[in-house]
A and B are shown apart, each in its own frame.
Chain A
Amino acid sequence: MSIDIETARRVAKLARIRVAPEDLPELAGQLSGILTFMEQLNEVDVTGIEPMTSVTPQRLKRREDVVTDGNIQAQVLKNAPDAREGFFAVPKVVE
Protein backbone atom coordinates (compact mmCIF):
# COMPACT_ATOMS: atom_id res chain seq x y z
CA MET A 1 0.00 0.00 0.00
CA SER A 2 1.60 3.24 -0.99
CA ILE A 3 0.46 6.68 0.00
CA ASP A 4 0.13 9.22 -2.77
CA ILE A 5 0.51 12.95 -2.38
CA GLU A 6 -3.23 13.51 -2.21
CA THR A 7 -3.59 10.96 0.64
CA ALA A 8 -0.68 12.56 2.50
CA ARG A 9 -2.40 15.92 2.20
CA ARG A 10 -5.65 14.45 3.52
CA VAL A 11 -3.95 12.73 6.47
CA ALA A 12 -2.12 15.93 7.41
CA LYS A 13 -5.43 17.76 7.30
CA LEU A 14 -7.12 15.14 9.51
CA ALA A 15 -4.20 15.36 11.96
CA ARG A 16 -4.41 19.18 11.94
CA ILE A 17 -0.75 19.56 11.05
CA ARG A 18 0.14 22.11 8.35
CA VAL A 19 2.46 20.61 5.74
CA ALA A 20 3.81 22.84 2.96
CA PRO A 21 2.90 21.54 -0.55
CA GLU A 22 6.57 21.12 -1.45
CA ASP A 23 7.08 18.83 1.57
CA LEU A 24 4.22 16.48 0.67
CA PRO A 25 6.16 14.17 -1.72
CA GLU A 26 8.82 13.37 0.91
CA LEU A 27 6.15 12.84 3.59
CA ALA A 28 4.19 10.54 1.29
CA GLY A 29 7.36 8.54 0.65
CA GLN A 30 8.14 8.16 4.34
CA LEU A 31 4.59 7.20 5.28
CA SER A 32 4.57 4.65 2.46
CA GLY A 33 7.80 3.13 3.78
CA ILE A 34 6.33 2.76 7.26
CA LEU A 35 3.11 1.26 5.91
CA THR A 36 5.05 -1.23 3.79
CA PHE A 37 6.82 -2.31 6.99
CA MET A 38 3.42 -2.83 8.64
CA GLU A 39 2.16 -4.97 5.76
CA GLN A 40 4.05 -7.91 7.28
CA LEU A 41 1.08 -8.21 9.62
CA ASN A 42 -0.93 -9.58 6.69
CA GLU A 43 1.12 -12.80 6.87
CA VAL A 44 -0.34 -13.67 10.29
CA ASP A 45 -3.36 -15.93 10.57
CA VAL A 46 -5.63 -14.05 12.97
CA THR A 47 -8.73 -16.16 12.41
CA GLY A 48 -10.82 -16.32 15.56
CA ILE A 49 -8.52 -14.02 17.54
CA GLU A 50 -10.11 -11.15 19.45
CA PRO A 51 -8.35 -7.77 19.26
CA MET A 52 -6.63 -7.07 22.56
CA THR A 53 -8.39 -4.42 24.61
CA SER A 54 -6.45 -4.66 27.86
CA VAL A 55 -2.99 -6.12 28.36
CA THR A 56 -3.67 -7.20 31.94
CA PRO A 57 -7.05 -8.76 32.55
CA GLN A 58 -8.81 -6.29 34.78
CA ARG A 59 -12.13 -4.72 35.49
CA LEU A 60 -11.98 -0.98 35.64
CA LYS A 61 -12.49 0.25 39.17
CA ARG A 62 -15.42 2.50 39.83
CA ARG A 63 -15.43 5.41 42.18
CA GLU A 64 -18.24 7.30 43.76
CA ASP A 65 -19.75 9.86 41.43
CA VAL A 66 -18.91 12.94 43.47
CA VAL A 67 -17.12 16.22 42.94
CA THR A 68 -13.52 15.82 44.09
CA ASP A 69 -12.08 19.21 43.22
CA GLY A 70 -13.10 22.60 41.91
CA ASN A 71 -12.56 26.30 42.44
CA ILE A 72 -9.17 26.12 40.77
CA GLN A 73 -9.86 28.43 37.85
CA ALA A 74 -6.57 30.29 38.22
CA GLN A 75 -4.61 27.02 38.17
CA VAL A 76 -6.52 25.74 35.16
CA LEU A 77 -5.80 28.93 33.20
CA LYS A 78 -2.25 29.43 34.45
CA ASN A 79 -0.55 27.85 31.41
CA ALA A 80 -2.92 29.13 28.72
CA PRO A 81 -1.27 31.02 25.84
CA ASP A 82 -4.22 33.43 25.89
CA ALA A 83 -6.65 33.61 28.82
CA ARG A 84 -9.07 36.47 29.30
CA GLU A 85 -11.71 37.16 31.93
CA GLY A 86 -11.58 33.63 33.23
CA PHE A 87 -11.76 31.94 29.83
CA PHE A 88 -9.45 30.36 27.26
CA ALA A 89 -9.36 32.76 24.32
CA VAL A 90 -9.29 31.49 20.72
CA PRO A 91 -9.81 33.08 17.28
CA LYS A 92 -13.42 33.69 16.35
CA VAL A 93 -15.15 30.34 15.68
CA VAL A 94 -18.64 31.48 14.58
CA GLU A 95 -19.64 34.51 12.54
Chain B
Amino acid sequence: MTHANQLTLAAARDALRKGELSAVDLTMSCLTAIDAGDALGAYVHKTPDIALDQARAADARIKAGDAPDLCGIPLGIKDVFCTKGVPSQAASNILAGFKPEYESTVTSKLFTAGAVMLGKLNMDEFAMGSSNESSCYGKAVNPWKVDERHLTPGGSSGGSAAAVAADLCIAATGTDTGGSIRQPAAFTGIVGIKPTYGRISRWGIIAYASSLDQAGPMTKSVRDAAIMLGAMAGHDPKDSTSADIAVPDFEAALTGDIRGKKIGLPREYRLDGLSAEVTALWDKGADMLRAAGAEIVDISLPHTKYALPAYYVIAPAEASSNLARYDGVRYGHRAKLSAGDGITEMYEATRAEGFGKEVQRRIMIGTYVLSAGFYDAYYNRARKVRALIKRDFENAFAAGVDAILAPATPTPAFGLGEMGTTDPVEMYLNDVFTVTLNLAGLPGVAVPVGLSGSGLPLGLQLIGQPWQEAALLNHAYVLEQAAGFVSKPEKWW
Protein backbone atom coordinates (compact mmCIF):
# COMPACT_ATOMS: atom_id res chain seq x y z
CA MET B 1 0.00 0.00 0.00
CA THR B 2 1.11 3.52 -0.72
CA HIS B 3 1.77 5.77 2.24
CA ALA B 4 1.13 9.48 1.85
CA ASN B 5 4.84 10.33 2.12
CA GLN B 6 5.48 8.24 -1.02
CA LEU B 7 3.28 10.46 -3.18
CA THR B 8 4.67 12.70 -5.86
CA LEU B 9 4.15 16.42 -5.38
CA ALA B 10 1.56 16.49 -8.18
CA ALA B 11 -0.39 13.57 -6.69
CA ALA B 12 -0.25 15.03 -3.18
CA ARG B 13 -1.42 18.41 -4.49
CA ASP B 14 -4.36 16.84 -6.28
CA ALA B 15 -5.32 14.71 -3.26
CA LEU B 16 -5.15 17.73 -0.95
CA ARG B 17 -7.34 19.80 -3.25
CA LYS B 18 -9.90 17.03 -3.57
CA GLY B 19 -10.00 16.68 0.20
CA GLU B 20 -8.84 13.05 0.05
CA LEU B 21 -5.90 13.90 2.26
CA SER B 22 -5.17 16.60 4.82
CA ALA B 23 -1.91 18.51 4.98
CA VAL B 24 -1.60 17.50 8.64
CA ASP B 25 -1.91 13.78 7.82
CA LEU B 26 0.52 14.12 4.91
CA THR B 27 2.98 15.95 7.15
CA MET B 28 2.61 13.36 9.93
CA SER B 29 3.32 10.62 7.39
CA CYS B 30 6.57 12.37 6.42
CA LEU B 31 7.55 13.06 10.05
CA THR B 32 7.08 9.37 10.89
CA ALA B 33 9.23 8.35 7.92
CA ILE B 34 11.89 10.89 8.95
CA ASP B 35 12.12 9.50 12.48
CA ALA B 36 12.45 5.99 11.07
CA GLY B 37 15.12 7.17 8.63
CA ASP B 38 17.84 8.47 10.95
CA ALA B 39 20.30 5.89 9.55
CA LEU B 40 20.31 7.87 6.29
CA GLY B 41 21.68 11.00 7.96
CA ALA B 42 19.47 13.11 5.69
CA TYR B 43 17.90 15.46 8.24
CA VAL B 44 20.24 17.45 10.45
CA HIS B 45 17.70 19.73 12.14
CA LYS B 46 14.13 18.45 12.35
CA THR B 47 11.36 21.03 12.68
CA PRO B 48 8.18 19.03 13.43
CA ASP B 49 6.50 21.85 15.39
CA ILE B 50 6.93 24.34 12.56
CA ALA B 51 5.78 21.67 10.10
CA LEU B 52 2.56 20.92 11.93
CA ASP B 53 1.75 24.62 12.42
CA GLN B 54 2.29 25.22 8.70
CA ALA B 55 0.25 22.12 7.82
CA ARG B 56 -2.70 23.29 9.92
CA ALA B 57 -2.56 26.70 8.26
CA ALA B 58 -2.39 25.00 4.86
CA ASP B 59 -5.46 22.90 5.62
CA ALA B 60 -7.37 26.08 6.48
CA ARG B 61 -6.27 27.69 3.20
CA ILE B 62 -7.25 24.65 1.17
CA LYS B 63 -10.65 24.60 2.86
CA ALA B 64 -11.05 28.28 2.02
CA GLY B 65 -10.32 27.50 -1.61
CA ASP B 66 -7.07 29.48 -1.58
CA ALA B 67 -4.54 26.79 -2.40
CA PRO B 68 -1.48 27.44 -4.59
CA ASP B 69 0.27 24.33 -5.92
CA LEU B 70 2.65 24.08 -2.97
CA CYS B 71 -0.03 24.55 -0.32
CA GLY B 72 0.32 21.81 2.28
CA ILE B 73 3.27 20.12 0.56
CA PRO B 74 5.96 18.97 3.06
CA LEU B 75 9.48 19.83 1.91
CA GLY B 76 13.00 19.27 3.15
CA ILE B 77 15.22 22.36 3.02
CA LYS B 78 18.96 22.14 2.37
CA ASP B 79 20.94 23.50 5.31
CA VAL B 80 22.46 26.19 3.04
CA PHE B 81 19.16 28.16 3.02
CA CYS B 82 18.77 30.66 5.85
CA THR B 83 15.56 29.92 7.71
CA LYS B 84 14.43 32.32 10.39
CA GLY B 85 14.98 31.05 13.91
CA VAL B 86 16.09 27.62 12.66
CA PRO B 87 19.77 26.57 12.59
CA SER B 88 21.29 27.26 9.15
CA GLN B 89 24.90 26.16 9.10
CA ALA B 90 25.73 25.01 5.55
CA ALA B 91 26.97 21.90 7.40
CA SER B 92 29.88 23.87 8.88
CA ASN B 93 31.08 24.11 12.46
CA ILE B 94 31.96 27.73 11.81
CA LEU B 95 28.23 28.51 11.81
CA ALA B 96 27.52 26.43 14.91
CA GLY B 97 24.59 27.94 16.79
CA PHE B 98 23.71 30.39 13.99
CA LYS B 99 19.98 31.03 13.79
CA PRO B 100 19.21 33.61 11.10
CA GLU B 101 17.04 36.59 11.96
CA TYR B 102 15.71 36.52 8.40
CA GLU B 103 14.29 34.12 5.82
CA SER B 104 15.88 33.37 2.43
CA THR B 105 13.87 34.52 -0.57
CA VAL B 106 13.39 30.94 -1.79
CA THR B 107 12.03 29.57 1.50
CA SER B 108 10.01 32.72 1.95
CA LYS B 109 8.36 32.19 -1.45
CA LEU B 110 7.74 28.51 -0.71
CA PHE B 111 6.17 29.26 2.67
CA THR B 112 4.04 32.04 1.21
CA ALA B 113 2.76 29.45 -1.26
CA GLY B 114 1.78 27.29 1.73
CA ALA B 115 4.65 24.78 1.76
CA VAL B 116 5.53 22.94 4.95
CA MET B 117 9.13 22.73 6.25
CA LEU B 118 10.00 19.33 7.72
CA GLY B 119 13.56 20.27 8.62
CA LYS B 120 17.04 21.07 7.34
CA LEU B 121 18.94 18.64 5.15
CA ASN B 122 22.52 17.42 5.18
CA MET B 123 25.07 18.57 2.60
CA ASP B 124 28.79 18.93 2.01
CA GLU B 125 30.22 21.79 4.05
CA PHE B 126 29.53 25.08 2.22
CA ALA B 127 28.37 22.93 -0.74
CA MET B 128 31.97 21.97 -1.48
CA GLY B 129 31.99 18.30 -2.31
CA SER B 130 30.45 15.53 -4.36
CA SER B 131 29.81 12.85 -1.73
CA ASN B 132 28.28 14.54 1.34
CA GLU B 133 31.25 13.26 3.35
CA SER B 134 32.55 16.70 4.27
CA SER B 135 29.72 17.69 6.60
CA CYS B 136 30.03 18.75 10.23
CA TYR B 137 26.98 16.57 10.90
CA GLY B 138 28.53 13.40 9.46
CA LYS B 139 27.74 11.58 6.25
CA ALA B 140 24.41 11.27 4.50
CA VAL B 141 23.81 7.77 3.13
CA ASN B 142 22.24 6.73 -0.17
CA PRO B 143 18.99 4.76 0.35
CA TRP B 144 20.10 2.61 -2.60
CA LYS B 145 22.14 -0.33 -1.36
CA VAL B 146 23.18 -3.40 -3.37
CA ASP B 147 25.81 -5.00 -1.14
CA GLU B 148 27.21 -4.57 2.36
CA ARG B 149 28.62 -1.14 1.52
CA HIS B 150 26.99 2.16 2.33
CA LEU B 151 26.97 4.34 -0.78
CA THR B 152 27.18 8.08 -1.13
CA PRO B 153 24.00 9.91 -2.13
CA GLY B 154 26.30 12.33 -3.98
CA GLY B 155 26.88 15.93 -3.10
CA SER B 156 26.70 18.57 -2.21
CA SER B 157 22.89 18.23 -1.95
CA GLY B 158 23.26 14.66 -0.61
CA GLY B 159 20.76 14.99 2.23
CA SER B 160 18.17 16.41 -0.18
CA ALA B 161 18.69 13.52 -2.62
CA ALA B 162 18.55 10.86 0.11
CA ALA B 163 15.41 12.40 1.63
CA VAL B 164 13.53 12.54 -1.68
CA ALA B 165 14.61 9.05 -2.80
CA ALA B 166 13.66 7.52 0.58
CA ASP B 167 10.31 9.39 0.74
CA LEU B 168 11.33 11.39 3.83
CA CYS B 169 9.64 14.38 2.15
CA ILE B 170 7.59 15.08 -0.94
CA ALA B 171 10.36 17.18 -2.49
CA ALA B 172 13.43 19.15 -1.41
CA THR B 173 15.42 22.24 -2.23
CA GLY B 174 18.99 21.96 -3.48
CA THR B 175 21.71 24.25 -4.75
CA ASP B 176 24.09 23.63 -7.62
CA THR B 177 27.48 25.31 -8.09
CA GLY B 178 29.23 22.61 -10.15
CA GLY B 179 26.67 19.78 -10.23
CA SER B 180 25.39 19.67 -6.65
CA ILE B 181 21.75 19.15 -7.66
CA ARG B 182 22.21 16.98 -10.76
CA GLN B 183 24.89 14.55 -9.55
CA PRO B 184 23.07 13.57 -6.31
CA ALA B 185 19.78 13.35 -8.23
CA ALA B 186 21.43 10.91 -10.66
CA PHE B 187 22.98 8.89 -7.81
CA THR B 188 19.60 8.40 -6.11
CA GLY B 189 17.23 7.97 -9.05
CA ILE B 190 15.37 11.27 -8.73
CA VAL B 191 14.91 14.42 -10.82
CA GLY B 192 16.90 17.60 -10.19
CA ILE B 193 17.06 20.81 -12.19
CA LYS B 194 19.56 23.63 -12.03
CA PRO B 195 17.85 26.56 -13.70
CA THR B 196 19.46 29.36 -15.68
CA TYR B 197 21.74 31.55 -13.56
CA GLY B 198 19.54 34.39 -12.31
CA ARG B 199 16.23 32.49 -12.50
CA ILE B 200 16.05 31.99 -8.72
CA SER B 201 17.10 34.54 -6.11
CA ARG B 202 20.25 33.74 -4.19
CA TRP B 203 19.33 36.08 -1.34
CA GLY B 204 19.62 34.29 2.00
CA ILE B 205 21.46 31.31 0.51
CA ILE B 206 24.84 30.90 2.18
CA ALA B 207 27.25 31.72 -0.65
CA TYR B 208 29.94 29.43 -2.04
CA ALA B 209 30.78 30.84 -5.50
CA SER B 210 28.36 33.62 -6.33
CA SER B 211 28.77 33.62 -10.11
CA LEU B 212 27.98 29.89 -10.26
CA ASP B 213 25.54 29.19 -7.38
CA GLN B 214 21.93 28.55 -8.33
CA ALA B 215 19.12 26.91 -6.36
CA GLY B 216 16.65 24.41 -7.74
CA PRO B 217 14.14 21.70 -6.87
CA MET B 218 14.90 18.00 -6.28
CA THR B 219 11.83 15.90 -6.85
CA LYS B 220 10.31 12.51 -7.62
CA SER B 221 9.22 13.42 -11.16
CA VAL B 222 9.73 15.97 -13.92
CA ARG B 223 6.21 17.30 -13.35
CA ASP B 224 7.06 17.87 -9.68
CA ALA B 225 10.22 19.74 -10.71
CA ALA B 226 8.18 21.95 -13.03
CA ILE B 227 5.66 22.77 -10.30
CA MET B 228 8.27 23.51 -7.64
CA LEU B 229 10.53 25.50 -9.95
CA GLY B 230 7.60 27.81 -10.65
CA ALA B 231 7.21 28.44 -6.92
CA MET B 232 10.93 29.13 -6.38
CA ALA B 233 11.62 31.31 -9.43
CA GLY B 234 11.17 35.00 -10.02
CA HIS B 235 12.79 38.39 -9.79
CA ASP B 236 14.00 39.57 -6.40
CA PRO B 237 15.24 43.14 -5.88
CA LYS B 238 17.42 41.81 -3.04
CA ASP B 239 19.59 39.81 -5.49
CA SER B 240 21.09 42.10 -8.12
CA THR B 241 21.82 39.10 -10.38
CA SER B 242 18.24 37.86 -10.30
CA ALA B 243 16.62 38.32 -13.70
CA ASP B 244 13.61 40.53 -14.12
CA ILE B 245 11.83 38.32 -16.64
CA ALA B 246 8.49 36.57 -16.49
CA VAL B 247 8.20 33.09 -15.00
CA PRO B 248 6.24 30.86 -17.38
CA ASP B 249 3.88 28.06 -16.34
CA PHE B 250 6.44 25.25 -16.43
CA GLU B 251 3.89 22.52 -15.77
CA ALA B 252 1.70 23.64 -18.67
CA ALA B 253 4.75 23.28 -20.94
CA LEU B 254 4.83 19.49 -20.38
CA THR B 255 3.04 18.57 -23.59
CA GLY B 256 5.16 15.53 -24.39
CA ASP B 257 5.55 16.81 -27.92
CA ILE B 258 9.16 17.30 -29.05
CA ARG B 259 8.64 16.44 -32.73
CA GLY B 260 11.10 18.24 -34.96
CA LYS B 261 13.32 19.37 -32.08
CA LYS B 262 17.03 19.03 -32.57
CA ILE B 263 19.01 17.32 -29.81
CA GLY B 264 22.80 17.61 -29.76
CA LEU B 265 25.17 14.94 -28.48
CA PRO B 266 28.51 16.59 -27.65
CA ARG B 267 31.31 14.38 -28.94
CA GLU B 268 33.77 15.72 -26.36
CA TYR B 269 31.65 14.14 -23.61
CA ARG B 270 32.61 10.68 -24.93
CA LEU B 271 35.55 10.58 -22.56
CA ASP B 272 38.29 7.98 -22.79
CA GLY B 273 37.47 5.33 -20.27
CA LEU B 274 33.80 6.23 -19.96
CA SER B 275 32.12 2.99 -18.89
CA ALA B 276 30.30 0.93 -21.53
CA GLU B 277 27.26 1.05 -19.26
CA VAL B 278 27.06 4.86 -19.25
CA THR B 279 27.75 5.02 -23.00
CA ALA B 280 24.95 2.52 -23.64
CA LEU B 281 22.55 4.48 -21.44
CA TRP B 282 23.38 7.65 -23.31
CA ASP B 283 22.70 5.95 -26.67
CA LYS B 284 19.46 4.54 -25.30
CA GLY B 285 18.38 8.01 -24.19
CA ALA B 286 19.12 9.39 -27.67
CA ASP B 287 17.04 6.58 -29.18
CA MET B 288 14.12 7.45 -26.91
CA LEU B 289 14.17 11.09 -27.98
CA ARG B 290 14.53 10.06 -31.64
CA ALA B 291 11.54 7.75 -31.28
CA ALA B 292 9.57 10.72 -29.94
CA GLY B 293 10.25 12.59 -33.17
CA ALA B 294 13.37 14.56 -32.30
CA GLU B 295 16.36 14.79 -34.59
CA ILE B 296 19.64 13.68 -33.04
CA VAL B 297 22.79 15.46 -34.19
CA ASP B 298 26.46 15.33 -33.24
CA ILE B 299 27.80 18.59 -31.92
CA SER B 300 31.16 19.82 -30.75
CA LEU B 301 31.90 21.71 -27.53
CA PRO B 302 35.66 21.97 -28.03
CA HIS B 303 36.60 23.52 -24.68
CA THR B 304 34.83 20.93 -22.54
CA LYS B 305 38.10 19.49 -21.31
CA TYR B 306 39.03 22.79 -19.68
CA ALA B 307 35.80 23.25 -17.74
CA LEU B 308 36.93 21.44 -14.60
CA PRO B 309 40.28 23.20 -14.24
CA ALA B 310 38.60 26.56 -14.93
CA TYR B 311 35.96 25.77 -12.32
CA TYR B 312 38.59 24.84 -9.75
CA VAL B 313 40.18 28.26 -10.19
CA ILE B 314 37.01 30.37 -10.28
CA ALA B 315 34.97 28.64 -7.57
CA PRO B 316 37.75 28.66 -4.91
CA ALA B 317 38.61 32.26 -5.82
CA GLU B 318 35.04 33.35 -5.17
CA ALA B 319 34.85 31.13 -2.09
CA SER B 320 37.97 32.65 -0.56
CA SER B 321 36.30 36.03 -0.84
CA ASN B 322 32.80 34.93 0.25
CA LEU B 323 34.07 32.95 3.23
CA ALA B 324 36.23 35.81 4.52
CA ARG B 325 33.16 36.91 6.48
CA TYR B 326 33.53 33.96 8.90
CA ASP B 327 35.84 35.65 11.36
CA GLY B 328 34.33 34.80 14.73
CA VAL B 329 32.97 38.30 15.26
CA ARG B 330 29.39 38.59 14.05
CA TYR B 331 28.02 35.06 14.13
CA GLY B 332 28.93 31.43 14.58
CA HIS B 333 31.97 29.91 16.20
CA ARG B 334 34.78 31.81 17.93
CA ALA B 335 37.86 29.96 19.18
CA LYS B 336 38.81 30.16 22.85
CA LEU B 337 41.69 32.55 23.11
CA SER B 338 44.87 32.25 25.15
CA ALA B 339 46.30 35.05 27.21
CA GLY B 340 47.89 37.66 24.98
CA ASP B 341 46.09 36.55 21.80
CA GLY B 342 45.20 39.45 19.54
CA ILE B 343 42.61 39.73 16.81
CA THR B 344 44.76 37.99 14.16
CA GLU B 345 45.20 34.95 16.43
CA MET B 346 41.45 34.99 16.97
CA TYR B 347 40.76 34.92 13.23
CA GLU B 348 43.32 32.22 12.53
CA ALA B 349 42.28 29.92 15.36
CA THR B 350 38.57 30.42 14.70
CA ARG B 351 38.87 29.61 11.00
CA ALA B 352 41.18 26.63 11.63
CA GLU B 353 38.69 25.16 14.11
CA GLY B 354 35.53 26.10 12.24
CA PHE B 355 36.29 25.11 8.64
CA GLY B 356 36.75 21.49 7.56
CA LYS B 357 39.75 20.35 5.54
CA GLU B 358 38.23 20.63 2.04
CA VAL B 359 36.87 24.10 2.75
CA GLN B 360 40.28 25.18 4.07
CA ARG B 361 41.96 23.80 0.94
CA ARG B 362 39.60 25.67 -1.37
CA ILE B 363 39.94 28.94 0.55
CA MET B 364 43.72 28.64 0.33
CA ILE B 365 43.69 27.75 -3.39
CA GLY B 366 41.42 30.74 -3.95
CA THR B 367 43.70 32.96 -1.91
CA TYR B 368 46.67 31.77 -3.96
CA VAL B 369 45.13 32.29 -7.42
CA LEU B 370 43.99 35.78 -6.43
CA SER B 371 47.29 36.80 -4.86
CA ALA B 372 49.59 39.36 -6.43
CA GLY B 373 51.59 37.87 -9.27
CA PHE B 374 49.20 34.98 -9.93
CA TYR B 375 45.93 36.80 -10.58
CA ASP B 376 46.52 37.03 -14.34
CA ALA B 377 48.11 33.62 -14.74
CA TYR B 378 45.30 31.75 -13.01
CA TYR B 379 42.17 33.76 -12.29
CA ASN B 380 42.02 35.92 -15.41
CA ARG B 381 43.01 33.01 -17.64
CA ALA B 382 40.24 30.88 -16.10
CA ARG B 383 37.70 33.66 -16.74
CA LYS B 384 38.80 33.81 -20.39
CA VAL B 385 38.45 30.04 -20.73
CA ARG B 386 35.03 30.37 -19.14
CA ALA B 387 34.03 32.82 -21.88
CA LEU B 388 35.16 30.26 -24.48
CA ILE B 389 33.16 27.48 -22.82
CA LYS B 390 30.07 29.65 -22.93
CA ARG B 391 30.75 30.45 -26.58
CA ASP B 392 30.89 26.72 -27.41
CA PHE B 393 27.30 26.39 -26.21
CA GLU B 394 26.19 29.57 -27.98
CA ASN B 395 27.59 28.24 -31.24
CA ALA B 396 25.72 24.95 -30.80
CA PHE B 397 22.45 26.72 -30.08
CA ALA B 398 23.00 29.16 -32.95
CA ALA B 399 23.34 26.16 -35.26
CA GLY B 400 19.79 25.19 -34.37
CA VAL B 401 20.21 22.78 -31.48
CA ASP B 402 17.25 22.96 -29.05
CA ALA B 403 18.73 20.89 -26.24
CA ILE B 404 21.80 18.80 -25.49
CA LEU B 405 21.78 15.26 -24.11
CA ALA B 406 24.69 14.02 -22.00
CA PRO B 407 25.39 11.67 -19.12
CA ALA B 408 24.82 13.17 -15.66
CA THR B 409 27.71 11.38 -13.97
CA PRO B 410 30.61 9.20 -15.16
CA THR B 411 29.65 6.35 -12.78
CA PRO B 412 26.78 5.22 -10.53
CA ALA B 413 27.01 6.04 -6.79
CA PHE B 414 30.29 4.96 -5.20
CA GLY B 415 30.95 3.72 -1.69
CA LEU B 416 31.39 6.17 1.18
CA GLY B 417 35.10 6.54 1.92
CA GLU B 418 36.17 5.21 -1.49
CA MET B 419 36.99 8.41 -3.30
CA GLY B 420 39.34 11.35 -2.97
CA THR B 421 40.83 10.35 0.37
CA THR B 422 44.39 10.87 -0.81
CA ASP B 423 43.92 13.02 -3.92
CA PRO B 424 41.27 15.79 -3.80
CA VAL B 425 41.32 16.00 -7.63
CA GLU B 426 39.86 12.45 -7.88
CA MET B 427 36.64 13.70 -6.25
CA TYR B 428 36.53 16.75 -8.54
CA LEU B 429 36.22 14.51 -11.64
CA ASN B 430 32.67 13.60 -10.57
CA ASP B 431 31.53 16.96 -11.90
CA VAL B 432 32.97 16.54 -15.39
CA PHE B 433 29.55 16.50 -17.15
CA THR B 434 27.79 19.01 -14.93
CA VAL B 435 30.26 21.82 -14.28
CA THR B 436 30.21 23.20 -17.85
CA LEU B 437 26.62 24.43 -17.37
CA ASN B 438 27.44 26.40 -14.25
CA LEU B 439 30.28 28.09 -16.08
CA ALA B 440 27.95 28.93 -18.99
CA GLY B 441 24.97 29.81 -16.76
CA LEU B 442 22.73 27.31 -18.56
CA PRO B 443 19.84 25.25 -17.21
CA GLY B 444 20.29 21.48 -16.86
CA VAL B 445 18.12 18.68 -15.59
CA ALA B 446 19.06 15.17 -14.42
CA VAL B 447 16.50 12.47 -15.17
CA PRO B 448 16.71 8.84 -13.99
CA VAL B 449 16.79 6.61 -17.06
CA GLY B 450 17.93 3.15 -15.99
CA LEU B 451 19.75 0.87 -13.59
CA SER B 452 23.40 -0.11 -13.70
CA GLY B 453 24.42 -3.76 -13.90
CA SER B 454 24.85 -3.65 -10.14
CA GLY B 455 21.28 -2.36 -9.71
CA LEU B 456 22.00 1.32 -9.02
CA PRO B 457 20.22 4.25 -10.68
CA LEU B 458 21.83 5.98 -13.63
CA GLY B 459 20.73 9.36 -14.92
CA LEU B 460 21.04 11.41 -18.05
CA GLN B 461 21.29 15.15 -18.26
CA LEU B 462 19.50 17.47 -20.64
CA ILE B 463 20.93 20.94 -21.16
CA GLY B 464 18.78 23.79 -22.38
CA GLN B 465 19.10 27.29 -23.77
CA PRO B 466 19.17 30.20 -21.33
CA TRP B 467 15.71 30.94 -19.85
CA GLN B 468 14.20 27.98 -21.76
CA GLU B 469 13.53 25.78 -18.71
CA ALA B 470 9.97 25.19 -19.90
CA ALA B 471 11.13 23.60 -23.18
CA LEU B 472 13.94 21.82 -21.32
CA LEU B 473 11.52 20.27 -18.83
CA ASN B 474 9.31 19.12 -21.70
CA HIS B 475 12.29 17.26 -23.21
CA ALA B 476 13.00 15.79 -19.78
CA TYR B 477 9.35 14.77 -19.50
CA VAL B 478 9.55 12.87 -22.80
CA LEU B 479 12.73 11.13 -21.64
CA GLU B 480 11.13 10.26 -18.30
CA GLN B 481 8.00 8.84 -19.94
CA ALA B 482 10.03 6.80 -22.43
CA ALA B 483 12.45 5.49 -19.79
CA GLY B 484 9.64 4.57 -17.42
CA PHE B 485 12.01 4.52 -14.46
CA VAL B 486 9.91 3.42 -11.49
CA SER B 487 12.46 1.59 -9.34
CA LYS B 488 12.69 2.56 -5.69
CA PRO B 489 15.38 1.65 -3.21
CA GLU B 490 14.53 -1.37 -1.07
CA LYS B 491 14.08 -0.24 2.53
CA TRP B 492 16.99 -1.35 4.74
CA TRP B 493 17.13 1.60 7.14
Contacts and interface: CB of A to CB of B under 8 A. Distances in A.
B237 A63 contact: yes
A91 B328 CA distance: 11
A42 B306 CA distance: 10
B424 interface: yes
Contacts of B272: none
B155 interface: no
A7 B367 CA distance: 12
Contacts of A51: 380, 383-384, 386-387
Nearest to A19: B352
B98 A79 contact: yes
A55 B388 contact: no
B342 A91 contact: yes
Contacts of A92: 342-343
B414 interface: no
B334 interface: yes
B244 A61 contact: yes
Contact of A55 (B240, B364, B440): B440
A84 to B, nearest CB: 13
A42 B384 CA distance: 11
The secondary-structure label for the interface of chain A is: loop
A44 B304 CA distance: 11
B12 to A, nearest CB: 34
A54 B317 CA distance: 15
Quick one: which of A14, A17, A42 has the most chain B CB within 10 A? Answer: A17
B346 A90 contact: yes
Interface size class of A (residues with CB under 8 A): 35 or more
Nearest to A74: B101
B358 to A, nearest CB: 10
A92 B344 CA distance: 10
A52 B367 CA distance: 19
A46 B388 contact: yes
A56 interface: yes
Contacts of B349: 18
Interface in A17-63: 17-19, 27, 30-31, 33-35, 37-44, 46, 49-56, 58, 60-61, 63
B352 A56 contact: no
Contact of B312 (A14, A38, A61, A78): A38
Nearest to B320: A15
A53 B210 CA distance: 12
B364 A31 contact: yes
A17 B360 contact: yes
Contacts of B388: 44, 46, 49
Contacts of B267: none
A37 B371 contact: no
A41 B379 CA distance: 10
A50 B383 CA distance: 8
Contacts of A61: 237, 240, 244
Contacts of A17: 348, 351-352, 355, 360, 363-364
A82 B351 CA distance: 16
Contacts of B241: 54, 56, 58
B382 interface: yes
Nearest to B368: A11
B63 interface: no
B342 A93 contact: yes
Interface string B289-324: 000000000000001011011101100000010001
A81 B371 contact: no
Contacts of B390: 52, 55
Interface in B387-420: 387-388, 390
A91 B337 contact: yes
A11 B374 CA distance: 12
Nearest to B324: A16
Given A17-B364, A51-B380, A55-B440, A41 B385 contact: yes
Given A18-B349, A56-B466, A61-B244, A79 B387 contact: no
Interface in B120-136: none
List of 5 A-B pairs having minimum Cβ-Cβ separation, nearest first: A51-B383, A55-B441, A81-B334, A79-B331, A18-B348
Interface of A: 3, 7-8, 11-12, 14-19, 27, 30-31, 33-35, 37-44, 46, 49-56, 58, 60-61, 63, 72, 75-76, 78-82, 88, 90-93
29 contacts: A3-B368, A15-B364, A16-B351, A17-B348, A17-B363, A19-B352, A27-B361, A31-B361, A37-B428, A38-B309, A40-B306, A41-B309, A41-B313, A41-B378, A42-B381, A44-B384, A46-B381, A51-B387, A54-B211, A55-B197, A55-B211, A55-B440, A72-B101, A79-B97, A79-B101, A90-B346, A91-B343, A91-B345, A91-B346
Given A15-B320, A52-B387, A92-B342, 14 more contacts: A8-B364, A11-B371, A12-B364, A41-B382, A41-B385, A44-B384, A51-B384, A56-B466, A76-B101, A79-B97, A81-B329, A82-B334, A91-B343, A93-B342
